[in-house]
Amino acid sequence: MRLPYVDPKDESFSTGNPAEIIQRVRDRRAPRDLQALDLTLLHSPHVADGWNHFLGAIRTKTSLKDDIREIAICRVAVINQAWYEWGHHAPLAKAGGVSDEGLKVLGENRPEGRGVLSEEQWAVVRYTDAMTRDVKVPEDVFAELRKHFSEQEVVEITGTVAAYNCVSRFLVALDVGEKNSVSGPEEVNIDHKKSP
């Protein structure tokens, strides 16, 4: 970690009283405790508050099926080498119905998933890869995604990919969770109880 984690009991880390913000973050995380990501974001309580609200909506207020949401998040983590993110979301992908073989495909730098992942899952992988690697999405990749998802779902998938690119870049830049030395998903100790 490049910055010390905030002690939420020490109100001297910020001007003003961040107690309400800390409580909102705790409420979203319940029954889990605050995460390393939260303890880093709390260096700027108002950023932490906005982050909590936005990521809370992405994680819990969309119409996406669990496997679709977590596939997008896991692909962003792999491409950006955000292994803290992978460690938290790979178990959620599995719980959402992604097979062990599917997780292996998601963990590959340049995956070949046809036949292992469903057509709609593979469309999400290709879309996530294009958004994350190139930003601009080719028409054929978008058309494939559109074939499987409603307009609302396309917006939600796009929002999820965009949001988790933000998360992964924050995690990697500040080495949140001390995972930057890990070289791939197979080296990550998967935490089945937490998620950013």
> In the predicted model, what is the mean pLDDT of residues 47-69?
97
Residue with tokens 């950013």: 196
Confidence grade of residue 97 (pLDDT, cut at 50, 70, 90): very high
Backbone angles phi, psi at 157, to 5 degrees: -65, -45
Domains present along the chain, CATH in parentheses: 11-60 (no CATH), 66-187 (1.20.1290.10)
Report the predicted TM-score, pTM, of the whole model to 2 decimal places. 0.90
The token pair that represents 128 in the structure block: 């996530």
Instruction: Tell me the C-alpha distance between 58 and 61, whole Å.
Output: 6
Sign of CA dihedral 129, 119, 73, 21: positive
- Return the ∠ at Cα 1 (arms to 83 and 70), rounded to 5°: 25
Q: Note the pLDDT of residue 1.
A: 86
